[in-house]
Amino acid sequence: MIEFSAPLAFLLLPLPLLVWWLVPAHREQIRALRVPFFSRVVDAIGEKAASGAVVLPRNLFQWLIGALVWVLLVTALARPERMGEPVTLQNPARDVILAVDISGSMDERDFAAADGQKMQRLAGVKQVIADFLKGREGERMALIVFGTQAFVQAPLTTDLDTLLDLLNHTDVGMAGPHTALGDAIGLSIRQFESSDVKQRLLILLSDGSDTASRMSPINAAQIAKQRDVNIITIGVGDPEGEGENKLDDATLKAIAEATGGSFYFAGDQATLAEVYARIDELAPKLVDAETYRPRLSLAAWPLGAALILGLLMLLLRALLSRQKPQEATAA
């Protein structure tokens, strides 16, 4: 499909006719030789003397070529463009960070799969997160893993396939055996600082109590609130456990409440899947979509055609002017 960006340029098409009708012929002053017997010379050759400019005659072919060149020039001024198929660009309207606990306690095999069999906690979490990520296409996400220390496994990106691959290559204990909830929140806040998106969501998943943070989880949550970061916490451990393996659901609830978020407990894979589905309902995917149609300028084609026709016309005229003196000499 071809469209013109400046169709008003076609109003210039009758301009040469208006100039021809309204503007007098060009008069050029040149030096002349005064001949006293000019009238007798004119009578001798049978011509009639008259004042005014001499307008060179043009044949029909020259008129047609001139008109065609003018039409092509005006068409180029109208800026013809070929319209491509609509292209939709999706820009994330929110950034999401997944902070996953990979401390030593995540190696416990007490996490119930969908079929009721017991499996490793981290393995069960990975399967549910994989399904969660499949529904987040077009949204920008990051992955932070934490144990004794917190690490950025994947920065904010829309390449969720790579993020999932990095999660699958994450094993228990890679970040140390202990749990640093506060450090994970602090690292997430630093990741959000590089984002211009106003809506920021942190999903924090842990199965233990904070034992290794340099910053209190509650203080980190208060800072997150100041930075407009909403935190949703998910507990997957055993509230009746002992020591570091005991799920500190009170702290996770306090973290969520400090930022206006929510706390969920997921004791098995089915419940965790329901938690993520509920998160989708409470915080649905936000994407700003922009649609445009690519434009390819075609103005060079009529402009080039006009140039070629004009050059051919000048060349043809030059050849004809060289042949006329030769014919006159032969005569």
pLDDT at 52: 56
Q: Which residues of the chain fall below pLDDT 70?
A: 25-30, 32, 49-58, 88-93, 138, 241, 243-244, 282-290, 292, 323-331
- In total, how many domains does the chain have? 2
> Are 136 and 264 found together in one domain?
yes
> Are 184 and 245 found together in one domain?
yes
* Contact of 6 with 78, CB cutoff 8 Å: yes
> Are 65 and 111 found together in one domain?
no
pLDDT at 285: 58
> Are 69 and 137 found together in one domain?
no
> Are 135 and 71 found together in one domain?
no
Range of the domain at 128: 89-290
How many angstroms separate the CA atoms of 9 and 44, rounded?
A: 53
Torsion of CA 298, 299, 300, 303, to 10 degrees: 140
pLDDT at 143: 95
How many angstroms separate the CA atoms of 159 and 163, rounded?
A: 7
pLDDT at 27: 65
> Are 215 and 274 found together in one domain?
yes
> Are 134 and 264 found together in one domain?
yes
Tell whether 45 is covered by a domain. Answer: no
pLDDT in tens, 3-16: 888 999 999 999 98
Tell whether 32 is covered by a domain. Answer: no
pLDDT at 89: 61
pTM of the complete model: 0.62
pLDDT at 91: 63
pLDDT in tens, 13-68: 999 888 888 887 666 666 767 777 777 777 787 777 666 555 556 678 888 888 99
Sequence-distant contacts of 295-299: CB under 8 A, at least 24 apart: 295/5, 295/81, 295/82, 295/83, 295/84, 296/81, 296/82, 296/84, 297/79, 297/80, 297/81, 298/2, 298/80, 298/81, 298/82, 299/76, 299/77, 299/79, 299/80
pLDDT at 331: 46
Radius of gyration of the chain (CA): 41
> Are 167 and 195 found together in one domain?
yes
User: In this structure, what CATH number is given to the domain that contains residue 181?
Assistant: 3.40.50.410
Tell whether 39 is covered by a domain. Answer: no
> Are 245 and 155 found together in one domain?
yes
pLDDT at 284: 60
pLDDT at 56: 59
pLDDT at 10: 92
